[in-house]
Amino acid sequence: MQEATHDETHAALNTVFREEAGRLVGALVRILGDFEVAEEIVQDALLVALERWTVEGIPAQPGAWLLTVARRRAIDQLRRDARYRDKLVALEYPVVAEPDDRLRLMFTCCHPALSRETQVVLTLRAVCGFTTAEIAHAFLVSESAMARRLVRARHKIMQAAIPYRVPRAEELDERLGEVLAVLYLMFNEGYLASGGSSPARRDLAEDAAWLAAFVTRLYPREPEALGLLALMRLHLARAEARFDTRGKLILLSEQDRSRWDRRMITEAVAMIEQASTLGRPGPYQVQASLVACHAEAASWQATDWPQILALYDLLLQMMPSPVVRLNRAVALRYVAGPETALTEVEALARDLDGYHLFHAIRGELLLELGRCEQGRAAELRALTLTDNQAEQSLLRYRLSSA
């Protein structure tokens, strides 16, 4: 099999899994009333498909194919289980997916009674149809460890009776916030790690953006959902320009801006404007506006730093975190100079000592101010704190040329 064909098959498989898995799990949870059984049956069907389709090709109606396999497995498995005997009858008929199934499923996976990381892995598995192996790979843990974790998560959903439903209006803000936080984490996991050593893996960032688009279709009047989708699209629009041909990270200031996807940027900016007309500003909208500022600048030199600084001030009011302050300090460097920025950065030493970007930014400012020895020490410290290969090689490059 040729490399390109292999990749194409994989891309097609991913698209089908993403389209069908959540819908199928959702329908089965509704019919069986059992998240655990439904999720396992569909995962089994996906594994069968993965094996067969890579050899035989993807069938004309992949959804129906998966449903047939899943239903057959369900009947097989449930025949031995008295609790589901009557539900088997329902499964003999074609399973009709209700439009809300995938949404309910998403709210179950992102229930606040589950830890953030569990929410992410469950969403990947049940909603996006990732296999356990793919998730384990994405989170750099062994497949058996990830399998154990997924088993515990499914047990908790069943034993603690986490409901399968769309939350009531008065809970929606909080619950949608959980979903958006999960999608953002999923996106970052994919986006930041994309320079890693494994280009063949399924792209978490693409799936996160796809789900964010799904959420905005269902909740078109939720400005933070729009903001998050715009933020993701603005990053994705520039993804191509982030790495050179050898997979080395290229800094924003050095990127070839003609490689940015202008159309995607324009659409994302329109989305931010649409969100702002709803009159409820929030952190995702502000972060999207920040990224838009960079994306719309014709060159690094043309960047509107005062505007970026103002947006960081706004973000800091909404999310008073040391990481936001650190990023604000970078904008401050271009408005008020490296000396002022360094003072601001130094004030964060206690909170961010374990964060590699703190040391990288501090190092850069020190080097700029001619304090080379301290600067190199800070950059070395940053190097020891990151596992990401692309970031490591960038830091090494900076050290060698400093």
Partner 1 sequence: MKYVLMFCGRTPQEVARWEATSEEARAQRDARVGEWFAEYRSKIGGAVQLQAAYATTSVHFTTDGRPLITDGPFLEGTEVIGGYAEIDVADLDEALQMAKTWPAGGVEIRPVVSSDRS
CB of 156 to partner 1, least distance (A): 9
Across 194-286, the runs of DSSP E, i.e. the strands, are none
According to DSSP, the residues that pair with 243 across neighbouring strands are: 249
Nearer Cβ to partner 1, position 100 or 304? 100
Minimum distance, C-beta of residue 323 to partner 1, in the bound complex (Å): 28
Gyration radius from the chain CA atoms: 23
Q: How far apart are CA 162 and CA 122, in angstroms?
A: 13
Determine contact, residues 399/380, Cβ cutoff 8 Å. yes
What is the closest distance, in whole angstroms, from the C-beta atom of residue 162 to partner 1 in the complex? 5
- Measured from the CB atom, the residue of 47 and 181 that comes closer to partner 1 is 181
**Distance (Å, whole) CA 5 – CA 134:** 20
The residue among 79 and 262 lying less far from partner 1, judged by its C-beta, is 79
Cβ closest to partner 1, residue 32 vs residue 229: 32
Residue type present at position 81: D
Determine how many CB atoms are found less than 10 A away from the CB of residue 398. 19
**Alpha-carbon distance values, 399 to 246, 385, 387 (Å):** 19, 15, 17
Of 108 and 255, CB closest to partner 1: 108
Distance CA 215, CA 230 (A): 13
Nearer to partner 1, 4 or 161 (CB): 161
DSSP bridge partners of 249: 243
Q: What amino acid is encoded at 148 in this protein?
A: R
The two tokens of residue 45 are 């069907």
Nearer to partner 1 by Cβ, of 113 and 270: the residue is 113
**Chain residues in the site for partner 1 (CB under 8 A):** 111, 113, 159-163, 167, 171
Instruction: Output the CA angle 111-103-208, nearest 5 degrees.
Output: 80
**Shortest CB 172 distance to partner 1, Å:** 13
